[in-house]
């Protein structure tokens, strides 16, 4: 007779990635904070593969745990249409909320008033395609894992409301010090 009781075993860090379909049809990862656009199953598999490699590194595990602790959804999608040359970027759901209170965001449209960040934090959309990395024929090009890890770190800065659009803080190690 089959045992229908769930074993008491829990996966160790880096051992497994929980992937499930969310209510909106996207593929959700872990606690459901990271969501992958469901339009291309191969793309989903490639992103899950990158996340699997990321979680097996101390810096990757730290970035994922830090993001889970902060909260705010990360949506991962591929560029449509594809970019040439390949590119990756991140867009905060609310630039004012993503930006630290001491930083200027710019001027409101049609106004001379300078907008400042609130530091409230927000979700982000990561746009990248693992198939684009490393760049074909470019030995200096980063791996898709390195690109995604950098984007996840930036998403953490956005989620914590500690991003600064005036400097290139894209997923820097200084994230822990902010």
User: For 153-175, what is each residue's pLDDT tens digit?
Assistant: 999 999 999 998 877 655 554 44
The answer to whether residue 155 is domain-embedded is yes
Cβ atoms of 28 and 67 closer than 8 Å: no
- Sign, CA dihedral 21-95-55-141, equals positive
The answer to whether residue 101 is domain-embedded is no
Tally the domains of the chain: 1
Range of the domain at 76: 19-95+121-166
The pLDDT tens digits of the residues spanning 104-133 come to 887 777 778 888 899 999 999 999 999 999
The answer to whether residue 171 is domain-embedded is no
Model-level pTM? 0.83
The answer to whether residue 3 is domain-embedded is no
The answer to whether residue 14 is domain-embedded is no
Best CA proximity match to 98, nearest among 118, 113, 115: 118
The answer to whether residue 112 is domain-embedded is no
Cβ atoms of 38 and 26 closer than 8 Å: yes
């Amino acid at each position: 007779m089959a045992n229908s009781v769930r074993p008491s075993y829990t996966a160790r860090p880096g051992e497994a990635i929980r992937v499930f379909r969310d209510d909106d049809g996207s593929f959700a990862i872990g606690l459901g904070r990271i969501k992958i656009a469901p339009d291309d199953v191969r793309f989903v598999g490639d992103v899950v593969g990158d996340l699997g490699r990321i979680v097996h590194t101390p810096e990757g595990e730290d970035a994922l745990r830090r993001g889970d602790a902060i909260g705010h959804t990360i949506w991962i999608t591929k560029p449509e249409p594809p970019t040439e040359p390949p590119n990756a970027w991140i867009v905060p759901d609310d630039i004012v909320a993503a930006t630290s209170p001491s930083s200027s965001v710019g001027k409101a449209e049609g106004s001379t008033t300078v907008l400042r960040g609130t530091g409230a934090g927000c979700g982000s959309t990561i746009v990248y395609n693992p198939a684009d990395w490393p760049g074909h024929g470019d030995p200096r090009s980063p791996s898709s894992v390195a690109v995604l890890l950098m984007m996840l770190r930036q998403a953490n800065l956005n989620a914590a409301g500690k991003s600064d659009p005036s400097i290139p803080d894209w997923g820097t190690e200084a994230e822990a010090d902010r």
